[in-house]
Amino acid sequence: MFIITLITFLAMEGITWLTHKYVMHGFLWNLHYDHHNKDKKKIMEKNDWFFLYFAIISMSLFGAGQYSPGLQFCTYIGLGILAYGLAYFIVHEIIIHKRMFQGFSFQTRYFQGLQRAHRAHHRQLGKEDGECFGMLFVPLKYFKSESKDKS
C-alpha cells in the first residue's frame, strides 16, 4: 500500500499546481491576495485557510478507509495527502517564507532553486501573469545557474 501513498504524494504536486493557478489565482484570489501582499503586522493570512480544504479531504479519506469495508485504500490516499501537506508546510512556511525559525536556513542547490522559483512567483503581486505555481518540483532553469532575481 506504500505505492498508493507515494503515487498520491506525487500527484499532489499537480493538484497543488492546478489549485494554485486556477483557484488561488482565480475565483478565490480574495483569500490568496494577502499572501502576495503581506501585512507584516499579521501573523495569520486568509491564505492559511487553504490548508483546511486539503486537511478535510485527507481526514475524510482516513475515515472512509477505516470504517468502510473495501475502501481501505482510501487510508493510503489520505496518508499521501497528509505527507504532501507536511512537506508543503515545511518547505513553504518554514524554509521559503521563514514564518517560523527565522534563523533556520538551507543552502543546498535544491532549496536555492525552490527559493528562486518562489521569488519569481511572488514578483507578480496581482492574480494574473504568474509563474511557478508548484511547490516541490519547479522548472530546471531555477536550478541550473544563478538567477537574475536576487531579491
pLDDT digits (tens, 9 = 90+) for 93-141: 788 777 776 666 677 888 888 888 888 887 776 777 777 788 888 888 8
**What percentage of the chain reaches a pLDDT higher than 70?**
90
The average pLDDT across 138-151 equals: 66
Q: Which three cell numbers stand for residue 96?
A: 521559503
What's residue 147's pLDDT? Answer: 46
Give the confidence band of 151 by pLDDT, cuts at 50, 70, 90: very low
Ramachandran bin of 54, using left for φ above 0, alpha for ψ from -120 to 50, beta for the remaining angles: alpha
Q: Residue 104's pLDDT is what?
A: 65
- The CA distance from 136 to 95, in Å, is 12
- Mean pLDDT across the chain, nearest whole number? 85
Per residue in 68-99, pLDDT tens?
A: 989 999 999 999 999 999 998 888 878 877 77
All three cell numbers of 86? 507536511
Domain boundaries, the chain: 2-103
Q: Which residues of 32-58 are buried (b: 16+ CB within 10 A; e: fewer)?
A: bbebbeeeeeeeebeeeebeeebeebb
Nearest to 18 by CA among 151, 135, 108: 135
